[in-house]
């Protein structure tokens, strides 16, 4: 299985102490050089850059097509991640940015937002329940959109 990640899933999971979740779910993750630069060299937290650099389940891969036309305005990391996902025909693309998700969809790339990964982790029994994850996120001041939070609460109230 091939999986490419943009920077936000890596940063969010690192900040919540759950970076290893990617290895548990997928085994291995590929990132382009621009994403590596964002999460390592632009890191506000020096430990983040050390930990992510030391992860043997994350590989930095160069892209072959640097000049690619995009429909949406995206930053360099998102552009390279979409190109890499397309070039290696990734089974999954970890991505949170809405504009980048639209671009990925237009390119026929299947993307997974970070929160879907967390739900999958609960489903696989890696966490006791969704509340445990939401608490970890809130402790790091990471909050879901109001619409997503409402949908989750509705779902939890029905089950």
Query: Rounded to whole angstroms, what are the CA distances from 121 to 22, 64, 101?
Result: 9, 33, 22
* Domain count for the chain: 2
The answer on 105 and 28 residing in a single domain is: yes
The answer on 110 and 82 residing in a single domain is: yes
The answer on 20 and 73 residing in a single domain is: yes
The answer on 144 and 95 residing in a single domain is: no
The answer to the question of residue 44 being in a domain is yes
pLDDT per position in the chain (159 positions), as tens?
999 999 989 988 888 888 899 999 999 999 999 999 988 877 666 666 667 777 899 999 999 987 777 888 899 999 999 999 999 999 999 999 889 999 999 989 989 988 888 888 888 888 777 777 777 777 877 766 554 555 555 555 544
Question: What pLDDT digit, counting tens, does each position of 11-49 carry?
Answer: 888 888 888 999 999 999 999 999 999 888 776 666 666
The answer on 14 and 68 residing in a single domain is: yes
Distance, CA of 63 to CA of 82 (rounded, Å): 10
The answer, as to whether pTM is greater than 0.85, is: no
Domain with 77, as residue range(s), is: 3-115
């Amino acid at each position: 299985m091939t999986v490419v990640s943009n920077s936000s899933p890596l940063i969010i999971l690192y900040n919540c102490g759950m970076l290893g979740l990617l290895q548990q779910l997928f085994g291995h993750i590929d990132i382009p050089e621009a994403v590596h630069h964002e999460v390592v060299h632009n890191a506000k937290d020096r430990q983040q850059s050390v930990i992510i650099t030391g992860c043997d389940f994350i590989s930095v891969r160069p892209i072959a097509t640097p000049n690619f036309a995009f429909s949406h305005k995206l930053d360099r990391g998102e552009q390279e991640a979409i190109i890499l996902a397309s070039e290696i025909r990734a089974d999954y693309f970890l991505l949170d940015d809405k504009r980048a998700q639209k671009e990925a969809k237009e390119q026929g790339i299947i993307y997974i937002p970070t929160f879907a990964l967390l739900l999958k982790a609960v489903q696989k029994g890696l966490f006791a329940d969704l509340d445990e994850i939401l608490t970890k996120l809130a402790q790091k001041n990471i909050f879901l959109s109001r619409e997503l939070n409402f949908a989750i609460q509705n779902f939890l109230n029905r089950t």
